[in-house]
Every structure is written in structure tokens, then in C-alpha cells.
Amino acid sequence: MSDAKSRKMPLHTKILIGMAVGIVLGLLVGPNSMILPEEGTFSGEVFGQRLIDWTDWIGQLFLRLIKMVVVPLVFFSLVVGVASLGDFRKLGRIGGRTLGFFLGTTVAALVIGLTLANLVGPGKLVGEEDRAFLLSSYEESATDKINSAAAAPSFSEQLVGMVPTNPLTALSQGNMLQIITFALLLGIALTFLPGDRAQPVVDLFDRLNDAMVILVHMAMALAPYGVAALLFKVVGTTGFSVLLALGAYTLVVVAGLLIHLTLVYGSVVQFAVKLSFLKFLGALREPLLVAFSTSSSSATLPVTKEACEQNIRVSPQMTSFVLPIGATVNMDGTALYQGVAAVFIAQIYGMQLSLTDQLQVVLSATLASIGAAGVPGAGMITLVLVLTTIGVPAEGVALILGVDRLLDMFRTSVNVTGDSTATCLMAALEGEDLKILSDSEDMADPDHGFEGRLEGGPHPISTEPGLGD
């Protein structure tokens, strides 16, 4: 290894530094600053808000750059993956197992969330004054969420809606389930063409897919600055008073997520995939940091895919099939949080949820987490449906809105871990040889992992003279 390479700071360290800078600045000079005066030009409200306005574009630029890759990456990689799979029984088998795994872990997440919320009873710990403060402060945003939820399509509409009437519209609107359906069918259709006719299309899509991967690495070069700006905004705008009032609820959600992570994913990875769970989490550090900072499993998808392929050696066929479905429908973190939130809000309203109510929470939150898009705050909107099902006032979402963005970071990280766990499990069940890339291997080999992928610089492209004449 050259000296320069061994001295280079790894990407995840740079991202961690970016996160730390964002958090510290958010606490010190954000709108809810601990040190700025309460009034005047240099108050948190004026100066802190201005700082957020000035720096917001950095985070947005990073976010848009990785989001830009999601649709073409999913589309190209899925068509290539399915077309090169050849065996549709295998596709059906992996699909069935994947959905079974998603469903099983979602129900497990809900059981953990509901059990914890019932045991701790965080709603009983909120005083009358805090309750009034929360309801009045977040009333307006709560109404927005309730209105968005009312516009959400029903489950059967969503099912039929999976087939696009116009695939180009699906691609242009980024409708992930429709894109997945079209890509799957197009991949299958290609295999029915004679090999010499299908191959050029598959090759072209494959090359375009490779180019998308390079775009992911380019976007990731901006990640340290992007996450700093994103976290500065989140931390700066989350007030301490809200955190204090909702401390018990926040802790129950985070503890539930940790239990789900270690107990459910930990045992699957350790005993079924047969990889060290800690090393597995280490291999996912880039997507986990991006998921935490962006609160969007969809936006994180290109990074998750790259980490599973590069750092754990899952085949691209497997990642291109399981991960996009996971990022769209599998949200264990969201389901768990919805279970806790439903019990918490009911407790604050003095309502006792019966066992039947809680079973309804399991059912509706499973559907709600499937229906939630992988974008920030989506789980909060579908939570309204869960509350309505069990007759808890939907306005109750105002009670938890203040810490929602913060908790979204944790639940999105769990969602992304769940998708990656499923992908690795499916790969292991299909006999793939998984192996975690060590830091030194990553540093030494510019063609694998996250380090040095852009180091080779651009290659000049020679066009044949006379081409196109």
C-alpha cells in the first residue's frame, strides 16, 4: 500500500466528522441555541434560522445528487438482474421468501414496540402542562399530516396501482413499485427474445448501470458536507423543551429499535447468514450514516446497494431485486415506532387499548408501514391511519411531532438494516459466498468498496472515425 493511501482518511470517518460538526453547530448556533441570546439580531431565532437558510442548499444538493441516481439505478439494474437470472422459479422462490421475511420481521417489530410501550407506559409520564404545550405547538402541522393521510390510496388501490399504465410516467414520477413491476416484466420479456437480440439491450443497460454506480461515488464525495448541513438543520430546529417532555416516549422508541436490531437482525445475520453481526454493521456503515442523516431509505438505496455488493459481496442480481422492494415496502423501524406511538397517544388521552385494539394496531401498522414511502416523515402520515383504525383521535399526532424528525433518523437506519439483512439472507439461502471486505482490503483495492473508486480519473472515450456518417 502506498504511503499516500495509508494516510488518506476513510470516507466514513469524514462523514462522521461532518455529522459531529452539524450536531455541535446545531446545538450551539441553531434556532434553539443554548448560547445565543433570546432576542435581537443574534438571537437563535433570527441568526440561527439565517444560518440554516444559508447552509440548507448544501444538504439539499447532496440529497438530490443521490436521489437523482435512484430511479435509473433501480430500473437498469433490475432489468439486467432479471434478464441474466434466466430461471424464473428462482425469482419466484426469492420473491416469496423475501416477502415472507419482510412480513415476519414487521410483525416482530410491532410485538417488541407494543410490549415495551405497555410495560413502560410513556404516555402516563407526560404531565398536563406538557400535554397542552405539545398539542398547541404542533396543532397546525398535525392538521397537515391528517390531510395528507386522508388523500392516501387504499390498500387495494395500491395493489392495482403497482402496474403502470405508462411506464415512462412511472419513471418520471419515481413511482417505485410501478418501476419495479415494469423492470421485472421487461427483464422477463428480454429472456424470451433470441440471445443475440436481447444481449445488446442487456449490455447497454449493464453499462448504464455501471455509470450510475460511478455517479453514486461522486455524490458520496459530497456526503461529509451534506450530512453536516442536514444534521445542523435537524438538531438546530429540535427544541429541548420538546425533547424533555417526550423523553420517555423517545427512549422507548429508540430502545425498541435497538432491541429489534440486535435480537431479530442480529440472530438472522449471526445464525442464518453466518456472518459476524458487528462486522455486518461495520460493512453497512456508509448506508447507515446516510440513512441516519437523510431519513430516507429510498434516497439511501444506491448507497445500500453498493455497500451490500462491495462490502459483503452479495451478487448484483440479488441486491437489484430485494433492495428496491425492501426500500419501498419493508419498514420495520417505522412499524415499531407506529406501535409505540399509538399506545403512547392513547395513554395520553386516557384510553386503555384492549388486546383486540392492539392486534388491530399490528394489522394496520403492518399495512401502514408497507404503504409508507421511504421518505422523511412518511411513517407519521400513515400513523394517522393506524390511529383512526383503533379510534384514537388523529389530532394526537401533534403530541409526537416535535421529536418525529429525530426519531425518523433512527427508524430509517433500522429500515435500511432490515433491507440489507433480507438481501444477505436471500443470498445466503441461494448459496452465495458472502464475505466482508476488510478496511485494509478496501483501502488497497480501488475497484472495490468505497475508497478510491474515483482515483483512476476519467478515461478518454475514443469514437470510431466516421461513426454516424
The Cα 117–Cα 248 span in angstroms is 10
366 binds ligand ASP (CB under 6 A): no
337 vs 250: CA distance, rounded Å: 10
Tell which one of 233, 260, 411, 453 touches ligand ASP (CB under 6 A). 411
Cα(365)–Cα(197) distance, integer angstroms: 46
Cβ pair 364, 386 in contact under 8 A: yes
Binders of ligand ASP: how many residues, by CB under 6 A?
16
With binding defined as CB under 6 A, does residue 306 bind ligand ASP? no
Quick check: 295 binds ligand ASP (CB under 6 A)?
Answer: yes
Using CB under 6 A, which of the segments 53-61, 344-352, 356-364, 411-419 binds ligand ASP?
Answer: 411-419
Under the criterion CB under 6 A, does residue 419 sit at the interface with ligand ASP?
no
Which among 221, 229, 224, 222 has a CA at the least distance from the CA of 23?
229
Residue 412 in contact with ligand ASP, rule: CB under 6 A: yes
> Cα dist. 429→139, 166, 253, 294, 317 in Å?
49, 35, 32, 31, 14
Site membership for ligand ASP, residue 408 (CB under 6 A): yes
Minimum CB–partner distance for residue 91 and ligand ASP (Å): 25
| Calpha distance 180→188 (Å, rounded) | 12
In whole angstroms, what is the distance from residue 251 CA to residue 126 CA?
13
- 377 binds ligand ASP, rule: CB under 6 A: yes
Is residue 239 a contact partner of residue 402, using CB atoms and an 8 Å limit? yes
Among 250, 415, 417, 423, binds ligand ASP (CB under 6 A): 415
Cell 439511501 sits on residue = 300
CB of 395 to ligand ASP, least distance (A): 19
Cα 84 to chain centroid distance, Å, stands at: 27
Q: Which is nearer to ligand ASP, 295 or 364 (CB)?
A: 295
Q: Is 334 in the site for ligand ASP (CB under 6 A)?
A: yes
Contact range with ligand ASP by CB under 6 A, out of 184-192, 371-379, 423-431, 439-447: 371-379
Confirm or reject binding of residue 328 to ligand ASP (CB under 6 A): no
Taking a C-beta distance cutoff of 8 angstroms, is the pair 49, 42 a contact? no
Half-sphere exposure of 38 (CA within 13 A, CB side): 0
Show Cβ contacts of residue 292 under 8 Å, excluding neighbours closer than 6 positions: 19, 409, 410, 412, 413
Residue nearest to ligand ASP (CB): 379
Of 242 and 301, the one with the shorter C-beta distance to ligand ASP is 301
376 near ligand ASP (CB under 6 A): yes
Residue 375 in the binding site for ligand ASP (CB under 6 A): yes
Q: Which residues bind ligand ASP (CB under 6 A)?
A: 295-297, 331, 334, 372, 374-379, 408, 411-412, 415
